[in-house]
Structure 1
Amino acid sequence: MATRRFSEEPAFVLHRYDWSESSLVLEVFTRHHGRIALVAKGVKRPTSQFRPVLLPLQPLHLSWGGDAEVRTLKSAQWQGGHVMPTGEALLSGCYLNELLMRLLARDDPHAALYDHYTLAVQLLAERADAQQLILRAFELLLLRDIGLLPDLAHEGNTLAALQDGVFYVLGPESGLRVAHGDDAHALSGEQWCSLQIALDEADPLIATLRACVGCQQALQPQLRNLLHYHSGVRVFKTRQLMLDVQAMGRPRASPEAASTNFQTTP
């Protein structure tokens, strides 16, 4: 039986670890094949053509072959289109990579999610003042696309439509429920419905980013609970590193200012 080969597949490197003294195993997110593992033979040698190319948060075209769980990388080319995020935006991009590593099964294609990720990485590089909005929007789309986000326009237990003027909180098992007096991070029915409408738009990342304006602080801990619950971890390593960097007192622009007339670069 001939070995299967795939050529010029759009992909991003999510993670890499040692395979041998000269080789690495790469966890990559591809558009048509989902998350897969590739061995890059000889990539740690100074003369390897792969060394300057196989970087995270860079759009690539990859070719590989093999039928085993870990395939063999044949070629890698930088696709171009945007520069790598830097500084705090680089940490945000690594956080997106950790989410994909923990929540995506191997060989499970998510073409639409790949496109959302591509745009999110581009926006992180271009709009440092909108990082938190970009992260919240991508978290929602990730949970929605892998089937872990409940309907945001209806209560989870009763399936009743959300009511204007009533506040709700999102739980990892029951979905949305009416907020109690001790729920510190509730959102109104109007806000949850706006998020659901945005997720259903033709360009959902930008629409959801805009819908997050004004509610991103209350949304963050609720999405974090869902992500921790479904990934089985108490804290993401990259998020803890982000918090440590922010605790050093680095100033940031407000999310509201960042989202004013928010447009992507042509």
Structure 2
Amino acid sequence: MARRGSRVHDEPAFVVHQHDWSESSLILDVFTRHHGRVVLVAKGAKRPTSQFRAVLLALQPLRLDWGGAPQQEVRTLKAARWAGGHVLPAGEALLAGFHLNELLLRLLPRDDPQPALFDAYAEAVRALAQGLPPAPRLRAFELLLLRAQGWLPDLGREAGTLRPLTPARRYRLVAEHGLLAHEGAGLSGAQWGALAQALAAADPWAALLTEAAEVLASAALRAELLPLLHYHSGVRRLYARELLREARRLLPASAPPLDASP
């Protein structure tokens, strides 16, 4: 990425959301490596002859050029190129990708650079396109996003007392407090400790998917993180989850189960 005056050149990015701006143009919400979430106008993007039409797709790695002062709320897209690397995720993996995008829209403020989080997002999308199990990647990204925003409590200590967790005891993650001891629900102290240790690694994304992979794949962790995501996003439901739930309802009884819920 290089900056030329008020123009940004060759910035790694993904389209997170888009909507119509006029009969021929689009407003894009993009997640970029060095500038965070940025809003761009793609003038003429809906015209049949526009070079943008085949490029501005969600969950595809892009390189973008845009112009406009940093303090402008909406800047102007100048060029967009597909960076290559993988095809568009399909089926359940596509819904999982939409879940990632919804998290970014609801939880990540604009113009807040998060290079490490961008790299984790890119790894998650690549894994979805390769057909790898979505659930561990979604949970890992949720943990990293919550931590990046300062909303993830210390996963190695009990809230209030600040005592180290007892490995065999179970704890619930409470949004306004942190980890609280609970009988029969939540995760064990050992499981929370594995997550805390992985998050403290030099490469937390890789550490989570190797050292804490079993915890990430558990439905129990999903149940612990979902209320925290709802609490900080200000919504009671995430729509990508609703789409997957509806897809499950419409499947015939003989169809294979959809196990990797967002």
TM over 0.5, shorter chain: yes
Letter in 1 for 2:207: A
Q: Distance in 2 between matches of 1:69 and 1:202?
A: 34
1:168 counterpart = 2:162:
no
Paired residue secondary structure (1:213): helix
5 Å-filtered alignment, 1:83-94, equals 83-94=87-98
State the shift of 1:125 in Å. Answer: 1.1
* Number of the residue aligned with 2:21: 19
Distance 1:209 1:245, change over 3 A: farther
Q: Provide the alpha-carbon RMSD of the alignment.
A: 1.7
> Percent sequence identity over matched residues?
56
Aligned length: 250
Separation in structure 2 between the aligned mates of residue 69 and residue 253 of structure 1, nearest angstrom:
40
Please point out which of 88, 98, 112 is paired with 2:102.
Answer: 98
User: Counterparts in 2 of 1:126-141, with a 5 A limit?
Assistant: 126-128=130-132, 130-141=133-144
The alignment status of 1:114 with 2:114, answered yes or no, reads no
Q: Does 1:194 align with 2:198?
A: no
In structure 2, what is the equivalent of residue 46 of structure 1? 48
Q: Is the 8 A contact 1:137 1:212 kept in 2?
A: no
From 235, 238, 251, the equivalent of 2:256 is 251
CA contact (8 A) 1:136 1:216 kept: no
How far apart, in 2, do the equivalents of 1:99 and 1:216 lie?
20
In 1: Cα distance, 2:128 partner to 2:94 partner = 8
How far residue 26 of structure 1 moved from its aligned partner, in angstroms, is 0.1
2:148 equivalent in structure 1: 145
Q: Deviations over 1:71-118 (max 9, x none)?
A: 000000001111111111001001100000100100000000000000
Please report the TM-score for the alignment, with normalisation by the length of structure 1.
0.89
Is 1:125 matched with 2:129? yes
State how far apart, in whole Å, the 2-side matches of 1:81 and 1:156 are. Answer: 43
Secondary structure of the structure 1 residue equivalent to 2:214: coil
1:154-180 Cα distance to aligned partner (Å, 9 max, x none): 112111110121111101110001013
Distance (Å, rounded) in 2 between the aligned partners of 1:179 and 1:44: 54
How far residue 192 of structure 1 moved from its aligned partner, in angstroms, is 0.3
Which digits, 9 at most, give the CA deviation of each residue in 1:105-152, with x for residues without a partner?
A: 000000000000000000111134x11111111111111122111110
One-letter code aligned to 1:147: G
Give the match's secondary structure for 1:100: helix
Which stretch shows the higher mean deviation, 207-216 or 235-244?
207-216
Q: Which runs of 5+ in 1 are unaligned?
A: 256-266
Q: Show the counterpart of 1:259.
A: none
Structure 2 unaligned runs (5+)? none
Letter in 1 for 2:66: W
Q: Distance in 2 between matches of 1:246 and 1:207?
A: 32
Q: Is the Cα–Cα contact under 8 Å of residues 92 and 258 in structure 2 kept in the other structure?
A: no
Instruction: Tell me, in whole angstroms, the C-alpha distance in 2 between the residues paired with 1:226 and 1:34.
Output: 22
Does residue 158 (structure 1) correspond to residue 161 (structure 2)? The answer is yes
User: Counterpart of 1:11 in 2: which secondary structure?
Assistant: strand
Q: In the aligned structure 2, how far is the partner of 1:209 from the partner of 1:232?
A: 28
CA contact (8 A) 2:63 2:81 kept: yes
